Structure 1
Amino acid sequence: MTELPRGGKPMQNHVKTPSVRYTNGRIYSAADPRATAMLVRGSSIAWLGDTADAPAADRTVDLAGALITPAFVDAHLHATDTGLAFDSLDLSGVRSAGELLDAVAAFAADRPAGAVVHGHGWDESTWAEQTPPAAAELERAAGGRRVYLTQASVHSALVSSSLLPAAAGVEGYDESGWVREQAHHAVRAVALGSLTAGQRTAAQATALSRAAELGIAAVHECGGPGTSSEADFASVLALSGRGLPKVYGYWGELGGADKARELGAHGAGGDLYADGAFGSRTASVRHAYADGDHGCGEAFLTADQVAEHLLDCVRVGFQGGFHAIGDAAIGTVLEGFALAAKQVGVDRLREGHHRIEHVELIDKAMIARMVEFGAIASVQPIFDALWGGPDRMYAQRLGVERAMATNPIGAMHATGVTLAFGSDSPVTPLDPWATVVAAAAPRNPVYRMSVRSAFAASTRGGWRAAGITDRVGVLAPGHSATFAVWETPGGVQDGLPALLPDIEGVTPARPVCRRTVLHGETIFEE
């Protein structure tokens, strides 16, 4: 793909909107499915058509056969944690407590004595012996440095002896060093508080830059008490669009609609926790966990509290939302929607485009209620790819029958629930095409959806989940010039990169992003 300057200079004293024409490619557009060229003027698409008919422009980009699609939107992300994960200790590959301790020792050796050793991604469900190391063992391995290691779900962590006192007396504390929920939030505040403002901003910029490199033009940052700080939230919002993806911030604090607005948030939701996560056995479920004496998880909200928060959002004119993973938590949230609807009416509640994040263990009746209340499902198909099916972590936690019922994303789509796809990074990696594949080929084939529908949920769905429905998320004249350019070594099928295995079981090579454009501004170019 080469860029060719166009001769000539603009007239003096005449302000001309810069224009770029993209030629000799393929354009994924319902407005002109056979288009091979596109003209961008300023922040908008001005024209689509055949390369031979392309209007003149200030610059020409020869696509050399590359594909242009709408850019991705990641509808659930944690920028600071994502950026830190690129430079911290990756524990996703360890398969025993001993391997984890060895990894900590090797990583900590290069860190200053007063540093906090940050690590992420251990998953004891993949270990033969599923007992993680104790706090004292972590302390010794790190040479006395403080250690903070988030489990794959990021709803619990292993911490060393010197960090553990920060959680003493807090719900979720365990002297072993494996802390959950509120105790985890307490040690998390200390671990992230060890970062300077510059380190924090650098981590956020790393995350957003990496997103742009993957064809992601916008992200939904999910913050709130226990998840991040107000300073952290303000920092990432300040980076929005500054040569980086657009950031829509969601502040998850009960009754915090006014505060969310003051912080510059786009909505009062995201990680407003109705429950925890399956990996930490803290998702609130109707029937007890299958692996040991762990009860039914943790319920953090009542239906009355959910209703009060929604009514607060209606009063302020703000989008609200909740984190709900288990069926008991989702049921509570939807009962809260029903209570709020009795106060303001279903139609007014629907106007708020309120969201539920994750929505993993949900039945047909609850799906119907989501449609009734116009609730948007902000979901992560990669959860199913990593932990779903009959023989992975969800099956350990819930039993095979319930595991196979998790993440019925295709059923929600077929029933009319508005979907937005995200990664919940660093819980799962930034990888939008893998997200599309996970939704189109789930572990339970009953929940399949088309690649085109999954792609729409990964692109236009993210804008719609933020309440932005006008002229963005599709490529058409008069719409926003927000798109990504892809090399497609695996070929193109039905207008999009070929992603699924062919009849011989051969998986096509994944697309490679060459350029990402946000409202006409290039935010990544290879």
Structure 2
Amino acid sequence: MTNPSTLYRGGVLHCPAEPRATALLVRDGRIAWLGVDADAPAADRVVDLDGALVTPAFVDAHVHATDTGLVLSGLDLSAVRSAEGLLAAVAGFAAGLPADAVVLGHGWDESTWGVPELPDAAALDRAAGGRRVYLSQASIHSALVSSALLAACPEAAGAAGFDASGWVRRDAHHVVRAAAQGSVTRAQRVAAQRVALAHAASLGIAAVHECGGPEISDEEDFTGLLALSGVGVPEVYGYWGELSGAARARELGAVGAGGDLFADGALGARTAYVSQPYADGAGCGHGYLSAEQVRDHLVDCAAYGMQGGFHAIGDQAVATVLAGFAAAAETLGVDRLRAARHRVEHAEIMSRRLIAGFVEFGIVASMQPAFDRLWGGAGRMYESRLGLERSLASNPMGAMHAVGVALAFGSDSPVTPLDPWGSVRAAVAHHNPVQRMSVRAAFAAHTRGGWRAVHRDGEGVLALGAPATFAVWSTPAGVERGLPVLQAADPEARGADDPTPLPVCRRTVLRGDVIFEEGSS
């Protein structure tokens, strides 16, 4: 017995193979027919699209669902612009918590402050009424913590990256983060995951790639999230970032042994491993893996038939990863490496030589266009850390696309918000004109690119027989060649603050099932 069929008619379809199509029929989770309204077959149900745009649904290729849900329902510090503002936000939030609670917040970015001076641990103690405080920086690679939390983590004092001021990085950050997150109950975690996935669905996202691992989340958190996958919410494809942990990744239900397997840190925390010293601080950051470890991890992945991957932001970290690929190729062969579609997350600081390495080994670049929107260009964080010339060369999505590097776009939420159309526009309006992409190419990277990154090559398109996974949009700025208008007509108005209204999701459909509908509770 087949499920009831649904005809969606009266719309504008992003369907290059059928450019005149205004309707599609869904049966048994797949697209059973495409064409014009006048030729539409009978169906059990009919949905009038009323001129709305229908596109393949988005895939967010890098998220942290639990953290995202906690931010959406907790203390969001992304709008804070001073130390005083941060302390006021902490005080207001803490006032509603029990005396023994841990204050969890996220998103502060001192590079956006007029005076980038951070409050110390004692000030956080006072603001929180003595409660333990953990406030992750936007990159999630460092945090501000209170004296009360430092006292509860004595082992952090001897770890790399410890600072008694309360701004902790590297190993010390991992210690205090684990302690802070240990205060979140399992029920709170599940609730946060549901909040994050529901929010993703409301934005036209039908699948997410969760990047977990021993330094990011515990195994129960990871497997619990995978258990929610596709049950009235977007599908979840999990990556477990544990070195030479392919067997464990498979046992946990992951699609890959990678994601946030750290080859370095982050630019915001000055822990990304770069080849030239930071412009605003000593040193070149930190590399956490050797080429030999990268090699052994890839060989381990091959033994278990798993996709591998690494977090690598700085050019020196990327170079180390590519040296590991070259060493692995001596054992596995280049063709076998290419077939696995191993990934590198972020790849922010690149060179022509490094980009050529991605092409040679068939590496998928999982990138976040919002990084350039928020931190690229003159006067922003990248310039502070790298100088203007190096900052404008960062996040080279356009150059990578031009030579055939496979791109999969995401948000790294909660590092940046879930915002797929905003990410597409960010790629189109890159601060460096040389790195700009077309709307069509950027949209493909955020849809079909995400499916291809998990080896689902037939998904992310509106085509006969393809899975019925799509989103329905209101497009206040109009539609041009099957995609929304995302930029102002006046070139002077374009960029990070472009006033053009972005599309609004009216419905998200995953394999024929509606997982979001505008106006429904």
Name which of structure 1's ranges 322-331 and 170-179 shifts more when overlaid on structure 2: 170-179
Aligned pair 1:409/2:435, yes or no?
no
- Residue 230 of structure 1 is matched in structure 2 by 219
Aligned counterpart in structure 1 of residue 515 of structure 2, from 516, 519, 523: 523
Q: State how many pairs are aligned.
A: 510
- The alpha carbon displacement at 1:217 in A equals 0.1
* Equivalent residue runs for 1:54-453 within 5 Å: 54-165=40-151, 166=153, 167-293=156-282, 295-453=283-441
Q: Secondary structure at the match of 1:168?
A: helix
- Residue 490 of structure 1 is matched in structure 2 by 477
- Residue 19 of structure 1 is matched in structure 2 by 5
Aligned counterpart in structure 1 of residue 462 of structure 2, from 465, 475, 494: 475
Distance 2:177 2:231 in 1: 28
Distance 1:503 1:172 in 2: 47
- The alpha carbon displacement at 1:89 in A equals 1.4
Structure 2 residue ranges without an equivalent (≥5): 494-498
Name which of structure 1's ranges 124-133 and 196-205 shifts more when overlaid on structure 2: 124-133
1:249–1:265 Cα contact (<8 Å) kept: yes
Q: Secondary structure at the match of 2:360?
A: helix
Q: Secondary structure at the match of 2:345?
A: strand
Distance 1:396 1:505 in 2: 25
Q: Secondary structure at the match of 1:468?
A: coil
Distance 2:462 2:94 in 1: 48
Q: Secondary structure at the match of 2:107?
A: strand
1:310–1:337 Cα contact (<8 Å) kept: yes
Distance 1:29 1:18 in 2: 24
Q: Secondary structure at the match of 2:215?
A: coil
Distance 1:478 1:513 in 2: 24
Distance 1:345 1:292 in 2: 41
- TM-score in terms of structure 2 length: 0.97
- The alpha carbon displacement at 1:188 in A equals 1.0
RMSD across aligned C-alpha pairs, in angstroms?
A: 1.0
- The alpha carbon displacement at 1:36 in A equals 0.6
- One-letter amino acid of the counterpart of residue 211, structure 2: C
- Residue 18 of structure 2 is matched in structure 1 by 32
- The alpha carbon displacement at 1:390 in A equals 2.0
Deviation per CA, 1:22-55: give whole Å up to 9, x if none: 0111111122011011000011000000101110
Name which of structure 1's ranges 184-193 and 240-249 shifts more when overlaid on structure 2: 184-193
Deviation per CA, 1:38-81: give whole Å up to 9, x if none: 00001100000010111001100000000100000000000000
Distance 1:508 1:180 in 2: 38
- The alpha carbon displacement at 1:127 in A equals 2.1
2:2–2:28 Cα contact (<8 Å) kept: no
Q: Percent identity?
A: 66
1:182–1:226 Cα contact (<8 Å) kept: no
1:38–1:45 Cα contact (<8 Å) kept: yes
- TM-score in terms of structure 1 length: 0.96
Distance 1:451 1:129 in 2: 37
1:491–1:508 Cα contact (<8 Å) kept: no
Distance 1:422 1:343 in 2: 32
2:265–2:272 Cα contact (<8 Å) kept: yes
